[in-house]
Amino acid sequence: MRELMLGPRRFSELRADLPGISANVLTQRLEGLEAKLLVARRRLPPPASAQVYELTPWGYEAEPLVQMLGRWAARSPWHDPTLPISGVSIMLSFRTMLDSARVGDLDLRVGFVFGDMAYVGHLTARGIAIARGEPERCDIVFAGTPHALAGAVYGGVPLEALAKQGLLTAQGDPALIARFCTLFPLPERVQLPPE
């Protein structure tokens, strides 16, 4: 369901963001969510004329629950921020993990390009609103893989190292880019009891 939190998606887009899931299993899950009135299927108007799945208004109401589960899961002693992540998932993680106190009076338009998917975020102390769209008139733009961006933001991987590997580029004011990467601290992990 989280893969639909940023708007309608084609079946092929959903499947690409959910590696390891078969077409049959994804179809069954989407049908189950439709039956529960969380997801609706519709056809886009021409020239696209493609079938898409989208959350119903009731389905969108689940985002605070998804965010709460995300914060909870990030505290796990076994949480691994280096595992693969989809573009939608990292966008939602930014909405979940944003520390408004660190944002201060920053008012920033941020573009994200992951292959053929692009997003634009408007970041203020009130939060980060994210929608699909081309990163026009953005203050900074990240282009590469969601996994590499997660490495920079959550794993502390230097942007220069990711750029040298061809995994992530960042355009715009270097100070704003560096500051952006510090705005999403992970919560402190639960400590395992001593053995």
**Domain 64-180 CATH assignment equals 1.10.8.100:** no
**What Å distances lie between residue 126 and 32, 45, 103, 130, 167, CA to CA?**
35, 35, 9, 13, 30
Which of 37-46, 79-88, 137-146, 185-194 is least confident?
Answer: 79-88
Q: For the chain, which residues make up each domain, given as ranges?
A: 2-61, 64-180
- Strand order across the beta sheet in which 39-43 lies: 9-10, 51-55, 39-43
pLDDT above 80 (res 84): yes
Distance CA 7, CA 54 (A): 6
- Helix, strand, or coil (residue 191): coil
The percentage of the chain sitting over the pLDDT mark of 90, rounded to a whole number, equals 74
Q: Which helix (H) or strand (E) holds 131?
A: strand 127-132
CATH class of 2-61: mainly alpha
Mean pLDDT over 167-177 rounds to 97
pLDDT band, residue 174 (cuts 50/70/90): very high
Q: How confident is the model at residue 90 (pLDDT cuts 50, 70, 90)?
A: very high
Give SS3 for 16: helix
pLDDT band at 1 (very low <50, low <70, confident <90, very high): low
- Minimal CA–CA distance to 1: which of 74, 70, 50? 70
Q: What is the pLDDT of residues 32-65, one digit of tens each?
A: 999 999 999 999 888 878 899 999 999 999 999 9
Mean pLDDT, residues 84-106: 93
pLDDT over threshold 70, residue 151: yes
